[in-house]
């Protein structure tokens, strides 16, 4: 663990506000264009090899209101895999806490919305999926090195 190597500026409230604003803008652009804009992540490790982005909507655990986060996803047959990395910060992202309280979520991919049930991957599933996720977006490994928490891998499966 190299949490001391995480850039200190990432813990700034200004950075948190910029990330929140960027997520809102990405969500609006994605919805308005059906994912043509905002549908790929082209930052860091994804600069040369863009990663796909979907819109994960959870129910706010405090408000009961829909909360949407643009996230890199891995398609695994009919499942969608997302990572609660939050850039290697010490706390889980709010969307992850929300789905722990209510696992029924939706994910919008392009213009299509899928109704899913989310769960945290079991240790053996995480071990199998993590290399594929890092292959998709290498910065996940960096984020993992920056935090003491185990970054959750979330499996979103069709509801029965």
What is the domain extent for residue 15? 3-158
Pairing assessment for the beta strands 51-59 and 112-120 based on DSSP bridges: unpaired
Q: How many CB atoms lie within 10 A of CB 70?
A: 22
> Cβ atoms within 10 A of the Cβ of 131, count?
10
Q: What pTM value is reported for the model?
A: 0.88
Number of domain units in the chain: 1
Reading the chain (160 residues) residue by residue, the pLDDT tens digits are: 455 676 666 666 776 777 788 889 999 999 999 999 988 877 665 667 789 999 999 999 999 999 999 999 999 999 999 999 988 878 899 999 999 999 999 999 999 999 999 999 999 999 999 999 999 998 899 888 888 889 999 999 999 7
Query: Residue 65 has what DSSP assignment?
Result: S
CA-wise closest residue to 118 among 132, 130, 102: 102
Question: Which three-class secondary structure state does DSSP give residue 152?
Answer: coil
In angstroms, the first-to-last Cα distance of the chain is 39
Q: What CATH number should be reported for the domain holding residue 72?
A: 2.30.110.10
Tokens, residue 130: 């993590």
The 8 Å CB, 24+ separation contacts for 46-55 are 46/72, 46/137, 46/139, 51/136, 51/137, 52/109, 53/26, 54/80, 54/82, 54/107, 54/108, 54/109, 55/27, 55/30, 55/31, 55/107, 55/108
């Amino acid at each position: 663990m190299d949490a001391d190597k995480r850039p200190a500026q990432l813990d700034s409230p200004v950075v948190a506000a910029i990330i929140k604003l960027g997520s809102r803008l990405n969500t609006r652009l994605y919805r308005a264009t059906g994912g043509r804009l905002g549908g790929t992540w082209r930052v860091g490790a994804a600069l040369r090899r863009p990663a796909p982005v979907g819109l994960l909507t959870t129910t706010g655990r405090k408000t009961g209101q829909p909360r949407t986060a643009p996230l890199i996803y891995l398609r695994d047959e009919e499942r969608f895999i997302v990572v609660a990395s939050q850039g290697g910060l010490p706390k889980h992202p709010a969307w992850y806490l929300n789905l722990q309280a209510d696992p029924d979520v939706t994910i919008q991919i392009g213009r299509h919305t899928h109704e899913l049930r989310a769960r945290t991957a079991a240790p053996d599933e995480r071990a199998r999926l993590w290399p594929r996720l890092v292959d998709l977006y290498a910065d996940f490994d960096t984020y993992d090195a920056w935090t003491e928490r185990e970054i959750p891998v979330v499996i979103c499966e069709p509801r029965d």
